[in-house]
């Protein structure tokens, strides 16, 4: 049942959700901490929820130590600072305003440092803020990626059948044999050259469905900043999963 797939542990007042994952091949309980402070407990197929909870409780000190070394998640809420195209923006709730989401530049003569930051303004009731902001970011990601994918596809003379925007946890993009390319909406949080690189990366796969030397030669010709973007993702990619966690 859905309720059996997760429980919480209280760590110094912080309610930490732990997701249960049953694996037929698992022989013991294993606790892992992933990006965005996601805690997974892998358990054998014959294991019980009670045993899983007891195991997690015994690992309380280890879990506290691991989480303590990670930055906190950032929820989409009024006053939060989130990156947009690689630059920090302040979420500014405008309950009386009409519309959905728009961007305003920061104060040119700020009293406080945060006043200089551009603002992601979100209209309407507070309960709609998170959904509206995420939908706005997804639309922006789609618009940017569609434009860049079309440009790279023309350069290579290939056809991309469809573009899909999702919230993938393990990869930033994918290309299917049918010509469908899939991207994470979180790429709109990264600098423009990173999103541009991922568009080139997946379009290149339409011609070369592999990571062979021929593929990398093609990609580097198509996108000269491949190395720079790969380095950025290696250093900062995980951090993008801290924003708007489920």
- Strand 6-11, strand 14-23: pairing: antiparallel
The whole-number pLDDT of residue 36 equals: 67
Please report, for residues 29, 46, 53, 95, 123, the alpha-carbon distance to residue 98 in angstroms, rounded to integers and kept in the order given. Answer: 51, 54, 47, 8, 6
Percent of the chain past pLDDT 70, that is, above it, reads: 94
Element (H, E) at 215: helix 213-222
Place of tokens 């959905």: 100
Give the range among 29-38, 49-58, 78-87 with minimum mean pLDDT. Answer: 29-38
Burial class (CB in 10 A: 0-12, 13-18, 19+), 174: middle
- Distance, CA of 10 to CA of 56 (rounded, Å): 11
Question: C-alpha angle with apex 4: 43 to 131, nearest 5 degrees?
Answer: 110
Residue with tokens 């030397």: 213
Fold of 137-242: Zincin-like (3.30.2010)
What percent of the chain shows pLDDT beyond 90?
69
For residue range 112-136, list pLDDT tens digits in order.
566 789 999 999 999 999 999 999 9
pLDDT tier, 3 (very low <50, low <70, confident <90, very high otherwise): very low
pLDDT at 2 over 50: no
pLDDT of the residue at 71? 80
Calculate mean pLDDT across residues 67-93.
Answer: 92
Provide DSSP, 95-153.
TT--SSEEEEPPPSS-SSGGGGS-EEEEES-GGGHHHHHHHHHHHHHHHHHHHHHHHHH
DSSP-based three-state secondary structure for 70: coil
Of 186, 225, 181, 227, nearest to 205 by C-alpha is: 181
User: Does the pLDDT of residue 170 top 80, yes or no?
Assistant: no
- Would you list the domain boundaries of the chain? 2-68, 81-133, 137-242
Query: In whole angstroms, what is the distance from residue 10 CA to residue 25 CA?
Result: 30
């Amino acid at each position: 049942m859905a309720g059996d797939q997760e429980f919480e542990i209280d760590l110094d007042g912080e309610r930490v959700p732990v997701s249960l994952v049953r694996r037929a091949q698992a022989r013991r309980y294993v606790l892992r901490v992933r990006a965005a402070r996601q805690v997974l407990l892998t358990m054998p197929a014959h294991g019980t929820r009670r045993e899983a909870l007891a195991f997690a409780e015994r690992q309380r000190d280890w879990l506290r130590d691991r989480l303590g070394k990670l930055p906190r998640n950032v929820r989409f809420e009024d006053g939060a600072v989130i990156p947009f195209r690689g630059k920090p923006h302040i979420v500014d709730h405008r309950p009386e305003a009409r519309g959905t989401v728009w961007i305003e530049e920061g104060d040119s003569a700020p009293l406080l440092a945060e006043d200089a930051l551009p603002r992601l303004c979100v209209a309407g009731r507070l309960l709609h803020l998170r959904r509206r902001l995420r939908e706005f970011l997804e639309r922006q990601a789609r618009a940017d990626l569609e434009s860049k994918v079309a440009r790279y596809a023309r350069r290579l003379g290939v056809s991309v059948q469809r573009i899909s925007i999702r919230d993938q946890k393990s990869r930033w993009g994918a290309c299917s044999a049918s010509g469908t390319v899939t991207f994470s909406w979180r790429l709109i949080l990264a600098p423009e050259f990173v999103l541009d690189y991922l568009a080139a990366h997946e379009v290149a796969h339409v011609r070369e469905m592999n990571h062979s030397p021929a593929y990398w030669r093609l990609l580097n010709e198509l996108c000269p900043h491949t190395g720079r973007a790969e380095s950025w993702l290696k250093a900062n990619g995980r951090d993008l999963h801290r924003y708007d966690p489920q």
